Amino acid sequence: MRPCAEPGCPVLLRKAGRCQKHRRYSPTYLERDWAEQKRRAAVVAKHRATHGDWCPGWPSTGHAPHACTDLTAAHVVAVANGGGAGPLLVLCRSENSRLRDSDE
């Protein structure tokens, strides 16, 4: 048994990592999560089927819609704020990472 990776958390786990309560606060953990990857891929695939290679933009940051082949699924609510299981939006990779940087 190993303790949860969250400092001060007393929960013991069978594998190294975080307990269920702290797991969703770790964006890096979610990035590696297979089910989450699959969910993101499905959202992007569905968007492509409907709109093609098109970034819909992000109005709140003034990011205008544009043609884009490097699309990724973005969390409407940042993962760090508990949005890990929330709805996903399609956005270009550069804007997605820019939004992520501003969250942290």
Q: Counting contacts by CB under 5 A, is residue 6 touching Zn ion?
A: yes
| Two structure tokens written together for 46 | 């569905």
Given candidates 43, 71, 73, 92, which one binds Zn ion under the rule CB under 5 A?
92
Q: Which of residues 15-54 bind Zn ion (CB under 5 A)?
A: 19, 22
Given candidates 26, 30, 43, 55, which one binds Zn ion under the rule CB under 5 A?
55
Between 26 and 36, CB nearer to Zn ion: 26
How far apart (Å, rounded) are the C-alpha atoms in residues 99 and 104? 9
Between 6 and 33, CB nearer to Zn ion: 6
Q: Counting contacts by CB under 5 A, is residue 89 touching Zn ion?
A: no
User: Nearest approach, Cβ of 62 to Zn ion (angstroms)?
Assistant: 11
Interacting residue ranges for Zn ion, rule: CB under 5 A: 4, 6, 9, 11, 19, 22, 55, 92, 95
